[in-house]
Amino acid sequence: MAKGYWVSVYPATSPGELAAYDELAGPAVQAGGGRVLSLIPSRGGRVAAREAGSTERVVLIEFDGFEQAVAAYESEAYQKALAALPDGYRRDFRIIEGVD
């Protein structure tokens, strides 16, 4: 079975702006079986190539299957995390199926 992934790219924020979301999202992802593979630049991950001036945060989360990734997104716990994002906050979020 092909794995499922959450890929999210969003603007860097001021310290604490996403604290409420982060506090809820982490446990929701973990409860849904997700594993954070990359969280750049917040956790010190390195970037080999980057457009000048880009300050976007990139998050990659792996699930054992695509359906599991969708179910985790639709879970009550993650929906509460989404509700904690600041009003008008925009990000590029995708759930994708890996190649088997």
Domains of the chain in sequence order: 4-97 (3.30.70.100)
Judged against a pLDDT cut of 70, whether residue 69 lies above it is answered with yes
The rounded distance, in Å, linking the Cα atoms of 14 and 59 is: 17
Judged against a pLDDT cut of 90, whether residue 61 lies above it is answered with yes
Residue 83 makes CB contacts below 8 A (sequence gap 6+) with: none
Higher pLDDT, 55 or 58: 58
| Mean pLDDT, rounded, for 66-89 | 95
pTM: 0.86
The rounded distance, in Å, linking the Cα atoms of 28 and 40 is: 20
- Reading the block at residue 41, the tokens are 């630049």
The rounded distance, in Å, linking the Cα atoms of 17 and 59 is: 17
The alpha carbon dihedral of 50, 56, 57, 62 has a sign of negative
Q: pLDDT for 9-55, tens place per residue?
A: 887 777 788 889 989 999 999 999 999 998 776 655 666 556 655 66
